[in-house]
Amino acid sequence: MTENIFIDYSLLILFLPLVSFLILVFTGKRLPRQGDWVGIGAILTTLALSISMFVSMLIEYEPGFSHEASFSWINLSAFQVDLGFLVDNITIIMLLVVSLISSMTHIFSTKYLEGDIRYSRYYAYLGLFTFSMNGIVLANNLISLYMFWELVGVSSYLLIQHWFEKDSAADAAKKAFLTNRVGDIGFFIGIMLIFSTVGAFTYSDIFAGVADGTIGGTILTFAGIGLFLGAMGKSSQFPLHIWLPDAMEGPTPVSALMHAATMVAAGVYMSVRIFPLFTPDALTVVAYVGGFTALFAASIAITQNDIKKVLAYSTVSQLGYMILAVGTGAYIAGFFHLVTHAMFKACLFYCSGSVIHAMHHALHKKHDHETDPQDMRNMGGFKDKMPVTYATMLIATLAISGVPLFSGFLSKDAVLAGTLSFVIHHPEHFFLAICGFGAALITAFYMFRLIFMTFHGSPTKKELIDDIHESPKAMTYPLILLATLSFFIFYTLPSVNPISDHGWFKDLVVPQDSFVQDSAILSAHEIEEGMHHAHYLAMALSLLVAGLGIGLSWMMYYRKILSADEWAKKTGPMYNLSLNKYYFDENYQKYLIQPVLKLADKVAYIDWDLYDKYFINGFGRVTDWISRITGRLDYEGIDQTLVDGVGRSAGKMGSGLKQIQTGKLQNYLLFVLAGVIVILVFQTI
Amino acid sequence: MHSLESYLYVSAILFALGLYAVVTRRNGIAVLMGVELILNSANLNFLAFARFGGVNLAGHIFALFVIIMAAAEAAVALAIVINIYKNYQSINVDEISALRQ
């Protein structure tokens, strides 16, 4: 396959979903089946193209493969902006992830959203999202990355508020959009800092600028942190994590696609792309944000009862892992975790969707509109009723908990090995290791809590259990596919060693040396070496914490040896903090949003009551007064005196001359005579 | 005194008298008589110029034409006066002011 075909395929992959969006948004409702086949057709074509690119990548097996194509977008002699594509192995893998999860979402939604009032609109927005996400993946410069970044934000907004009749959904969409904006401001400042020093937007130019010292020191640190702020917003990192759990108001397939697998991973993807320009200081910030988020979000997930909220906080926590990996320098491990996480987390979300779907139908049959279909306290004992959902969800849970034989084990292990080697090099940052392993422990615990509460034990609502049925095939097939992809083998071929991550992924995605001129920065090789040394220790520790977490969960929720309620009482204040998500929303409301609203009120007062009423209205009054005067001048001075005066004087002259008209011939003759005399006199003179 | 000026003087006096009659007389027939005087003063001029100004026979011929035209004019004008008299029972030109309306 030639390089040109890569670019052609990328263009098709990018624009097919956009075409589907345009068709659906304008004609969707009039098409048969509300046009879902347009969206599904476009995304399946995209998937086929992505797979063919992926296969050709595997055939070529060239670690350093990279191809760029760009065109000039703005060309003013002193100011030039080029937009373009960068296709390398990371891009190809990411494109496959996006189109695969997106295809699964399209197929899953045919049943999950069957009969929905905005069915075609939903598919249109999915197309818009896929387009913008692929744009992020393909961008070779910060400007188009930023544009697609915002487009992703818009499509997220549109899809979260799919059921905008519900206030909570509309609010959640606004919250997601505005919280993202906070991060995006940092992102934009970062871009501008880089542009003002390096004068370019493309990754390669920026890296060149970093390498030759055009940009460096504090400015580079701030630029890196600024860009990372964007990633924090999009990837829902502390303290901007508040929007992601609320975003679960959107349809579950959307949560799986955007708020678990792809869109929230955009922040991580961006950090991976720009990793070589992070200075050691910036990386420390990144590592602490990621590590803290991983532990912090996990500690909230532990007490949540809404099945989707648990998964949402779990996503935040896993994204924290990826960011932690970037911060500790093991950024390829972070990207590896992104890919594996996309599969098993999407699978978990589809499973929760399947459970909610079943609950919803059962409740509908009983005409029960009070019970919350997402509350795990209303579930239990679904194991035999929904065998496929149970099996796939168990596999995905094993993967996320980091159990050997599953993909999550490999990627989490790589992340933890990176963290451990970083901590061994810099013992003062031991907190990061605590975060990493602590989060792993809690993750295993709450994920099995979810499994036990939903599928095991005796049903809490006995009257519902008979109406719980397995979901239709359009929903279970994506589950089976994604659960299959949660096994380790797909990421390690041709190697089949279940505890080592050696394989095509490691061969093809090679870490790049940082370009920052700093003695403290480690080369990719050194990081690799460190991870290799820390590998067995990290594996032992992660197996230990995963086993501990699963064991605790098993005792508490399966065997009920330990009473969950009693533990909740024993740890009272901490339990309440976790249950109430550390009161983040309340505090933001009190200390951030209310003052801002008050300020807005004040500004509105100045604008309307002072500026508008006195200044603007005063202008109006003065103008009115002036126009009255000029109006009078015009009417009385010009119209009545000048214009009418001409007519009047003509009339007066006419009535004066009328006197001469006597009707007597002799008079006229006299005038003629007088005239002749006058002429004669004048002639002689 | 057989010079051009003496003829012209006589002719001018005649013309002035005719004009005076046309402008001042109230009687329509008197006005016509004034017109005759003006025509004759013109005739006198033609003949005087024919004799002294080198116009030769053309002057004579013009004078003859004027006499013929004066006869025709008198006929038409008298007919008009008769008609006016029939309409207004008067030949006083001051009373005939229908043009004014």
Which residue of chain B comes nearest to A658, CA vs CA? B100
Preferred mutation among B15, B17, B20, B22 to probe A, highest tally of A CBs within 10 A = B22
Q: What is the CA radius of gyration of chain B?
A: 17
Q: How far apart are CA A660 and CA A648, in angstroms?
A: 20
User: In the predicted model, what is the mean pLDDT of chain B?
Assistant: 87
**pLDDT of B58-101, one tens digit each?**
888 999 999 999 999 999 999 998 998 898 888 887 777 666 55
The rounded distance, in Å, linking the Cα atoms of A152 and A149 is: 5
Low-confidence ranges of chain A (pLDDT < 70): 1-4, 519
Helix H or strand E segment including A71: strand A66-76
**Burial track A289-316 (b if 16+ CB lie within 10 A, e otherwise):** bbbbbbbbbbbbbbbbebbbbbbbbbbb
Q: What is the pLDDT of residue A1?
A: 46
Residue with tokens 């009920």: A560
- Best mutation target among B81, B94, B101 (most A Cβ atoms within 10 Å) is B94
pLDDT at residue B101 in the model: 54
**B35 near A CB under 8 A:** no
What is the DSSP code string of A369-408? -SS-TTBGGG----TTTSHHHHHHHHHHHHHHHT-TTBHH
Residue A587, Cβ neighbours under 10 Å: how many? 11
- From B100's Cα to the closest Cα of chain A, the distance in A is 4
Question: The tokens 């991976």 sit on which residue?
Answer: A272
Could you tell me which of A5, A128, A103, A93 has the C-alpha nearest to residue A46? A103
pLDDT category, B1, cuts 50, 70, 90? low
Cα nearest neighbour of A670 on chain B: B23
CB atoms inside a 10 Å sphere around CB A75 = 9
Contact between B93 and A666 using a beta-carbon 8 Å cutoff: yes
The rounded distance, in Å, linking the Cα atoms of A431 and A412 is 18
Residue A402's Cα: distance from chain center in Å?
27
Q: Tens of pLDDT along A22-35?
A: 998 888 788 878 88
Q: Do A664 and B24 touch (CB under 8 A)?
A: no
Q: How remote is the C-alpha of A132 from its chain's centroid?
A: 10
Q: How is residue A398 written in tokens?
A: 């094993």
CA dist., res. A416 & res. A331, Å (int): 12
CA distances to A453, A562, A593, B55 from A554, rounded to whole Å, are 11, 9, 42, 154
Chain A residues whose CB is inside 8 A of the B22 CB are 666, 669
Q: Give B101's contacts in chain A (Cβ within 8 Å).
A: 663
**Would you tell me how many other CB atoms lie within 10 Å of the CB of residue A474?**
15
List the alpha helices (DSSP H) in A402-503.
Answer: 407-425, 430-455, 462-465, 473-484, 489-492
| Closest Cα in chain A to B96 | A664
- Rounded CA-CA distance A579/A601 in Å is 33
Question: pTM score, two decimals?
Answer: 0.76
Quickly state the pLDDT bin for B14 (edges 50, 70, 90): very high
